[in-house]
Amino acid sequence: MTESRSVLDRSPLTELAELVARGGVAVLSGAGLSTESGIPDYRGPTGRARRAEPMTYQRFVGSAEARRRYWARSHVGWRQIGLAAPNAGHRAVAELERRGLIDGIVTQNVDGLHQAAGARRVIELHGGLDRVVCLTCRERTSRTELEDRLRAANPGWEASGRINPDGDAVLADEQVERFRVVDCATCGGLLKPDVVFFGENVPRTRVDECFALVAAARALLILGSSLTVRSGLRFVTKAAALGIPIAIVNQGPTGGDAEAVLTLDAPLGVTLTHLAAQL
């Protein structure tokens, strides 16, 4: 039976602390962990409904217009994502890992904030926006380098728009039409952010690594994920099948609540800070 209480009630935090204190914890984090860093989530209190269909891999590789729209929107969005700093929740998770209580982190986020906070074993399930990959030669380069090239290719181009959770901005058609895309500096191939688009599969080796981390854990801690899609829920299902206790800290209900031994509906930054202080 799950329990959901306010963060002001110390009892659930004490229970969570007792679970984490035994060590061997695997973490699965979602967009809700990064909202306090200014990055909106999908379905939580800061979530914003999409006004357009998400970019698919098939559209991206098949349409020059789609690529121009994606990179224009992402170029604007990166100004916010690239400057985002880890919040108290990220720092608390990194501290618990440093103390040897957390064995590893599977994150559904593409913002790199776990690593920026000092976490070491982080598996980026959907990749990272701080890298770019060429679809022809497979060379990976930094997003910073690409942003420099895009600015040089678009002198005087300015645009702004509402930022979406996946790091792009909502722009008007006339803003997009004036944007120029650049290709791979090495071979001239198409450049794509090193993230998994809709219509792509997460690499099998990466999925296997995530399952192995969960299977070896003494407990699975879910942070800021609504678990409404299979991408994250499959790891909860795996842990439940193995009899591994599951704890969830999230604002709002999740698709894994029925499998959890403990749920906390609470802000993540203050909750995780209090958790680290109790251990």
- End position of a domain, from candidates 177, 195, 213: 195
Residue 233 lies in a domain: yes
List, in order, residues 6 or more apart from 188 with CB less than 8 Å away.
136
The answer on 250 and 167 residing in a single domain is: no
The answer on 252 and 115 residing in a single domain is: yes
The closest of 54, 116, 111, 66 to 91, measured between CA atoms, is 116
Residue 245's domain is classified under what CATH number?
3.40.50.1220
- The average pLDDT across 270-276 equals 97
The answer on 267 and 161 residing in a single domain is: no
* Alpha carbon distances (Å) from 236 to 150, 186, 255: 40, 42, 9
Q: What pLDDT sits at residue 51?
A: 45
Residue 223 lies in a domain: yes
The answer on 230 and 261 residing in a single domain is: yes
Size (the chain), residues = 279
The answer on 273 and 148 residing in a single domain is: no
Q: What pLDDT sits at residue 8?
A: 45
Which pair of tokens denotes residue 267?
């802000």
The answer on 162 and 228 residing in a single domain is: no
Parent domain of 116: 1-39+86-126+201-279
Binding-site residues for Zn(2+), please? 134, 137, 184, 187
Residue 72 lies in a domain: yes
Q: What pLDDT sits at residue 2?
A: 47
Question: Which single residue is written with the structure tokens 């701080």?
Answer: 130
Residue 138 lies in a domain: yes
The answer on 152 and 24 residing in a single domain is: no
Could you tell me what percent of the chain has a pLDDT over 70? 89
- End position of a domain, from candidates 143, 176, 195: 195
For residues 42 and 120, the answer to whether their CB atoms sit within 8 Å is no
Binding-site residues for NAD(+), please? 30-50, 108-111, 224-226, 250-252, 268
Residue 44 lies in a domain: no
Residue 126 is among the residues annotated as catalytic for this protein: yes
- End position of a domain, from candidates 195, 221, 247: 195
Binding-site residues, please? 30-50, 108-111, 134, 137, 184, 187, 224-226, 250-252, 268
Residue 73's domain is classified under what CATH number?
3.30.1600
The answer on 179 and 242 residing in a single domain is: no
The answer on 9 and 137 residing in a single domain is: no
Tens-digit pLDDT profile for residues 29-40? 999 999 999 987
The answer on 139 and 29 residing in a single domain is: no
Residue 214 confidence class, pLDDT cut points 50, 70, 90: very high
Tens-digit pLDDT profile for residues 162-204? 766 666 777 888 889 999 999 999 999 999 999 999 889 999 9
Residue 20 confidence class, pLDDT cut points 50, 70, 90: very high
Average pLDDT taken over every residue of the chain:
90
Q: Which of 75, 90, 114, 126 is catalytic?
A: 126
Tens-digit pLDDT profile for residues 96-134? 999 999 999 999 999 999 999 999 999 999 999 999 999
Residue 34 lies in a domain: yes
Residue 45 lies in a domain: no
Residue 4 lies in a domain: yes
Q: How many domains in the chain? A: 2
For residues 239 and 212, the answer to whether their CB atoms sit within 8 Å is no
Tens-digit pLDDT profile for residues 41-70? 665 444 444 445 678 999 999 999 999 999
Residue 161 confidence class, pLDDT cut points 50, 70, 90: low
The answer on 29 and 135 residing in a single domain is: no
The answer on 179 and 97 residing in a single domain is: no
| Rounded Cα gap, residues 158 and 166, in angstroms | 20
Tens-digit pLDDT profile for residues 87-101? 999 999 999 999 999
Tens-digit pLDDT profile for residues 195-204? 999 889 999 9
Residue 221 confidence class, pLDDT cut points 50, 70, 90: very high
